[in-house]
A and B are shown apart, each in its own frame.
Chain A
């Protein structure tokens, strides 16, 4: 062990330029030349094992980063435009649209920075839950599929109203037990490969996993446009992808387990800016 450490040190000195990928870069994110995004912040107190938190944007290549810096280049914005149309489109037995009750979509400014949160019914609500509650209870419409395009484009429209605002998700009071459950999951090793979220996103961020540059797994950029899938991706879809990659049976999208994990992961990003819809590899 000692010997290989020495060898590594020598090799590191020799190929130091190759180590540039080992950390987040120093780029600054300003969207449309006006919305300043905080991509680096001191870690919140409850994140014991990190000193600094970084947006996933800092781990991407310059080309991918550029796509998020201008709404015209951000492929997610074409989809957000569709959601603008859907926002005013009546649906369901009540023939109501989102706009019938909520007026302008700008009234949602700030909401995404506080989600998920516990509702009056004592359950944890994500943005998908809020949208579907409106659809089923107030509009008399069919609920949307969790990771389907209508749901995630609408989520992106609502999240985009909060761009630039600091993530400030509360985990006190009624949210505490969900948060504890999420934290437990974050540090639990899943699957044949016995990997926990923390193994990659806390212990090893900045390193490469196969051809991918590991980020801290922050969720301030969701729903995110993933270039490899060419569509908007939900947080639960990514959780599922990660757990699947550990060769485990995953939880379902929209399950209580993923809601709890979503809450815990969101609080790990308290202090970063909402930047959704982001663009990733």
Chain B
């Protein structure tokens, strides 16, 4: 597992029906590109988050493929119109097979 990985998500706790809410996510991750070399000239192996998925009540919302040129601590922000109360599931897939998950509930009135 890459070191110091910590997912963070910001979802408003409540929203009114039909309202557009802003959702912010950030995962601290080195995002080593695989292009760099260490002092001895050896290639530092690639280690990135390669996929980011958000589901709402089991239904897919977004699914993003990440490439090696993306910087450290990838940040995603998107707007969502939330139809009903429920739970967002955020999933990050690491090159080394690790999967980091974070859940956030939202109440729609």
Contact = CB atoms under 8 A, between A and B. Distances in A.
Contacts of B73: 75, 78
Interface in B1-45: 4, 6, 8, 10, 24, 26, 28
Interface in A40-89: 72-73, 75, 78, 81-82
A72 B4 contact: no
A22 B10 CA distance: 36
Interface residues of A, number: 6
A46 to B, nearest CB: 42
Contact of B10 (A72, A75, A78, A81): A72
A81 B6 contact: yes
Nearest to B72: A230
B28 A78 contact: yes
Nearest to B6: A81
A73 B8 CA distance: 11
Contacts of A82: 4
Nearest to B24: A72
B6 A72 contact: no
Interface string A145-180: 000000000000000000000000000000000000
Given A73-B24, A75-B73, 11 more contacts: A72-B8, A72-B10, A72-B24, A72-B26, A78-B8, A78-B26, A78-B28, A78-B73, A81-B6, A81-B28, A82-B4
13 contacts: A72-B8, A72-B10, A72-B24, A72-B26, A73-B24, A75-B73, A78-B8, A78-B26, A78-B28, A78-B73, A81-B6, A81-B28, A82-B4
